[in-house]
Structure 1
Amino acid sequence: MNDPYQQPQQFGPPPQQQFGYQPQFAPPPQFGHSPQFGHPPQQFGYQPHYGAVPPNPYANWGQRVLAYVMDGLPVFGLYMLLRMLGAVFTMTGPWTDTKRVTAVVLVVVILIAMAGFSFWNIAFKQGRTGSTVGKKIVGIKVISETTGQPLGVGMSVVRGFAHIADSFACGLGYLWPLWDGKRQTFADKIVGSVVIPFDKNAPAGGPDGMNPRYPPTVRDAAQFGSTRLLLT
């Protein structure tokens, strides 16, 4: 007689007892798709393409020459005005005392205007903003190699006098940016400055007083030796 309380007989192997944490395996990836784990790493800074050479972040020689010519146009215009006035005074009859005094006054005023514009343009405008009138039009500026900021009035004046060294050896210093890695003249190397392009249409200002006009190649590729040069 069968016992009604007897457990039914189990056929086949007994089930294995599960112990501990049993990891759940994801289904195998589909062919042609790589499995994604977590979030992809965030990329910072300039990401160059493999096999591509990043552009030179410094202003080229042609840009610097063009800015120099444009800075000289106002001074050249005043000089031509001086020559024209001299010709007019010569052709309007004999030199009287009144004419001589008038000519001297005009010459002094024009010479002061020439010197004043040059000093303001190089010392104050370039020293405080990094760009002279010509450099502003071209879209380049002079900054310190170590701070990334404009040189300031004093160092901008020193840089102007340091151009005397560029005149040595038939102006070799002015041609030096053609093959120099940082496109520096002798004056740039003396005061530690570099000339870089910037976006003329970008708004001025920025966090920490930095200027955001510099292109990404300057922010990420230029090796100025200072973390403050990673401009934002």
Structure 2
Amino acid sequence: MNQENVGIKTPEFVSLQFQLAGLGSRTAAFIIDQLILTVINILIVIALLFYMNGMSFFYMLEMNSLPIAIAIILIFLINWGYFFIFEFFSGGKTIGKKIIGIRVIQENGHSITLLSSFIRNLLRIIDSLPANYFLGLIMIFFHSKHKRIGDLVAGTIVVHEQKTKQAKKQTAIKKEIAQRGLTKEGSNFEEWGINSLGSKEWHLLKTYSNRFVHLPLEERGEVTREIAAILLLKIGIIIEGKSIRELENILLTLYLVMKDEWEFDL
């Protein structure tokens, strides 16, 4: 029987528990993604037909099959690049995965890397053999961690994304963040900086944020400087010359950004 949950001990010695995404949820996400890609492919073909319809017969002979070749290459790049780009730049989630509520992560619990995303999606060619993604579906069904060949080589797993139910605990900090007018959309953190932070940093930042409103002002200032020295310097933000209020705002904004990546139902 396939196991539905997997425990991961990260390099920072933090234990995480994830619910694996099985064949049903992965297939549903894939179907949604394929429907999106099918619409895009049809639009490209229609554009090609309109383009060639406006040519004279002799001009089409001179052009040979160049427009068709360009369309085929464009379709291939879009169909492959869609998964690669979305999974890396959207935290392991294509549009289909986001709708279904699953995501791709590293086996160590970290976010998917550029190389891992490239490898697992390059190997879609093999997983799709002999037709209709047959080999990939068989692998996902029988593998203990629901992995296809791309996942095996890239060292990735697909898990359900379930937010923790901490509405009451989060109410105070959410109000504080709202009062300060902070949003993750207003952040300007570098991508490499966010990717360099792991589960250890997330748990530290989460603990700080949850205790934030309950700390006395003097103690909160000391804790803020300590946390800022650990986290902000690691992502390239200079803390010297910044007031406590500024550091608090940066840390709370960082909390909002990392929350989407790391807050699972553990």
TM-score category (smaller protein):
0.5 to 0.7
Greater share of helix: 2
Aligned pair partner of 2:104 in 122, 142, 164 = 142
Aligned pair partner of 1:192 in 155, 163, 177 = 155
The reply to whether residue 125 of structure 1 matches residue 175 of structure 2 is: no
Residue of structure 1 equivalent to 2:136 = 173
Q: CA deviation at 1:135?
A: 1.1
CA contact (8 A) 1:166 1:173 kept: yes
CA contact (8 A) 2:87 2:93 kept: yes
Distance 1:213 1:189 in 2: 25
Q: CA deviation at 1:80?
A: 1.4
CA contact (8 A) 1:135 1:141 kept: yes
Residue of structure 2 equivalent to 1:61 = 23
Distance 2:45 2:71 in 1: 14
The reply to whether residue 214 of structure 1 matches residue 264 of structure 2 is: yes
One-letter code aligned to 2:119:
V
The reply to whether residue 79 of structure 1 matches residue 79 of structure 2 is: no
SS of 1:159's equivalent? helix
Q: CA deviation at 1:66?
A: 1.6
Distance 1:199 1:100 in 2: 57
Q: TM-score, normalised by structure 2?
A: 0.47
CA contact (8 A) 2:107 2:156 kept: yes
Residue of structure 1 equivalent to 2:145 = 182
Distance 1:82 1:162 in 2: 25
User: What count of residue pairs does the alignment treat as equivalent?
Assistant: 159
Q: CA deviation at 1:58?
A: 0.4
Fraction of identical pairs, as percent? 20
Residue of structure 1 equivalent to 2:13 = none
SS of 2:57's equivalent? coil
Q: CA deviation at 1:94?
A: 4.8
SS of 1:194's equivalent? strand
- The CA RMSD measured in Å over matched residues stands at 4.0
Structure 1 residues 99 and 200, CA gap change in structure 2 (3 angstroms): farther
CA contact (8 A) 1:89 1:99 kept: no
SS of 1:80's equivalent? helix
Aligned pair partner of 2:117 in 156, 163, 177 = 156
Residue of structure 1 equivalent to 2:210 = none
Structure 1 residues 104 and 62, CA gap change in structure 2 (3 angstroms): same
Q: CA deviation at 1:182?
A: 1.1
Distance 2:151 2:116 in 1: 11
Distance 1:163 1:215 in 2: 30
CA contact (8 A) 2:18 2:160 kept: no
Distance 2:156 2:54 in 1: 51
CA contact (8 A) 1:78 1:114 kept: no
Q: TM-score, normalised by structure 1?
A: 0.52
CA contact (8 A) 1:166 1:187 kept: yes
Structure 1 residues 104 and 85, CA gap change in structure 2 (3 angstroms): farther
Q: CA deviation at 1:76?
A: 1.5
5+ residue gaps in structure 1? 1-54, 217-232
